[in-house]
Chains A and B, each alone.
Chain A
Amino acid sequence: MEYQNSKIPEGINVSSEHPLKNFIYLLLGVSGAIIAVLLVLFYTIGFIAKWVPFEAEVKWAESISASFNESGDDTQNGLLDALGLPTTDKNLDGLDEQYTLRVQKITLYLQDLANKLALAQELPEPITITVHYIDQPLVNAFATLGGHVFIYQGLIDAVESENGLAMVIAHEIAHVKNRHPIVALSRGLGLGVILSLVTGVGGDSLSTSLAGHVNLLTSLAFSRGQETESDIEAYNTLLKYYGHGLGATELFSQLVKAGQETSLPEILNSHPLSQKRIERLEKLGQSTITDCSYASFNCSLTPLPEFLLND
């Protein structure tokens, strides 16, 4: 009897499909699914986080601050640390007494202005604003978890009147009022968990990567929509408080003039471009009464108090 091994036909075990085609289908399918999950999560968290009681938010802010600040009683520096910003020198003994008095005076003035603006903005009951004045030349102001609002000397120098300063403070109050910091933080944490699950960072390093996320998000995570929302709210607050909207665009004009804009297109930027913000506010001004003949108050810019100006 004659035996033979016949030739094995090709293409039974090996698929003839092009490997790249397979790869692209898989990649699109999987990333599409991940993005869909993230989007659903993003909006769900955004919706839920608004209902977290403000007291819980304050406690959260304190615990974050305490984890960065060993003594735990210096919320201001703890939060600055958590955000990766330079802290202030709180060692009062080493400082000029006059300087300390000045910082206290400015903080009191800013806190007072913020309280009045919060009243005009009808800030709901449990929410309180704590203003921190930072004597650094950075042109910056931000609101973060627990109603803490930071105002930098650089920003005070950049505006020309109290109205301009009030616009910025009202804008930050609006962030707190609309719960933007806690929404941003919750979103960042939620997405961080999902991403670390997907990329397999999980396990022991999960908590470390979460701690890392806390940094990133509170500093830059307000969306452009939230910024615009706060701009409009702040403008309305200004109308209510001063009776007119003059000075609202002061800071933005200053930023445009100083060329402090990134050249990134608006869509890649977390903040709307200053020029766009000015235009939006001016459009808003046309639809509300800014004509001074209608204003019940004295229709002029309120100057900044002398002691605010850096000499």
Chain B
Amino acid sequence: MYDLIILFVLLSLGYVFGQIAEKRHFRSIIKRESEYQSILTFAKRFPLNNDGEQRAELVGGNVVISVDYFKRFVAALRNLVGGRVTAYESLLERARREALLRMKAEARKKGLNTIVNVKLETASITKGNKNQVGAVEVYAYGTGLLSNH
């Protein structure tokens, strides 16, 4: 019985704070994305107009987001039956967009306006550890350039 009460408390804590954090994060992401719209990112390896001397520097952005208890529980249930793990989809979406934003922020700080060869790395922290709420890391990096497009 006590186990159930503890589970319920953990689930509600995870749900309430997780949802608040997620909503707030998405609002902030959308706002900052429009702020950094002028910094262009490309998956191409080389700049589009490769003429003349350009300043090139490595830029990167790194983010770690923790899974809340509620998401973990829902994902564990989903594991039994299969299908879209929507609880984790939104989590990874946040992590990717946040990492790209931080990379752009670094580029702006260095006075660069274009990033080429953008790549994303995803890693799970606390992988394989049982009974531990996991966290996901996303690292975005690329070659920042000062370009006249």
Contacts and interface: CB of A to CB of B under 8 A. Distances in A.
Interface string B60-85: 00000000001001100110110010
Given A14-B93, A19-B87, A30 B30 contact: no
A17 B74 contact: no
A19 B91 CA distance: 12
Nearest to B93: A13
Contact of A17 (B40, B42, B86, B149): B86
Contact of A1 (B48, B73, B78, B89): B48
A216 interface: no
B44 to A, nearest CB: 11
Contact of A30 (B19, B40, B42, B80): B80
B74 A26 contact: yes
A7 B81 contact: no
B33 A19 contact: no
Contact of A26 (B81, B92, B149): B81
A interface, over-half SS: loop
Contact of A23 (B74, B84, B149): B74
Contact of A7 (B33, B73, B89): B33
Nearest to B77: A26
Contacts of B80: 30
Contacts of B89: 13-15
Interface residues of A, number: 20
Interface string A102-139: 00000000000000000000000000000000000000
A23 B14 CA distance: 13
Nearest to A199: B3
A2 interface: yes
A72 B26 CA distance: 67
Q: Which residue among A2, A19, A30 has the maximum number of chain B CB atoms within 10 Å of its CB?
A: A19
Interface in A4-61: 4-5, 7-8, 10, 13-15, 17, 19-20, 22-23, 26-27, 29-30
A17 B149 CA distance: 40
A30 B79 CA distance: 11
Nearest to B94: A14
A22 B149 contact: no
Interface in B86-103: 86-87, 89-90, 92-93, 97
B78 A19 contact: no
Contacts of B77: 23, 26-27, 30
B37 A5 contact: yes
A15 B37 contact: no
Given A3-B40, A10-B30, A26 B86 contact: no
Contacts of B33: 7-8
A26 B78 contact: yes
A20 B74 CA distance: 9
B17 to A, nearest CB: 13
A29 B81 contact: yes
Given A19-B70, A20-B15, A3 B48 contact: yes
Nearest to B71: A19
Contact of B70 (A2, A13, A15, A23): A23
A269 B129 CA distance: 41
B50 interface: no
B122 interface: no
A14 B149 CA distance: 32
27 contacts: A1-B49, A2-B149, A3-B40, A3-B42, A3-B149, A4-B37, A5-B40, A5-B41, A7-B33, A8-B33, A13-B90, A14-B26, A14-B86, A14-B93, A15-B86, A17-B86, A19-B15, A19-B19, A19-B86, A20-B15, A22-B87, A23-B74, A26-B74, A26-B78, A26-B81, A27-B77, A30-B80
Given A5-B40, A19-B86, A19-B87, 13 more contacts: A1-B48, A3-B40, A4-B37, A7-B34, A8-B97, A13-B90, A15-B84, A15-B90, A20-B15, A23-B73, A23-B77, A26-B81, A29-B81
Nearest 3 A-B pairs (CB), nearest first? A15-B86, A26-B77, A13-B93
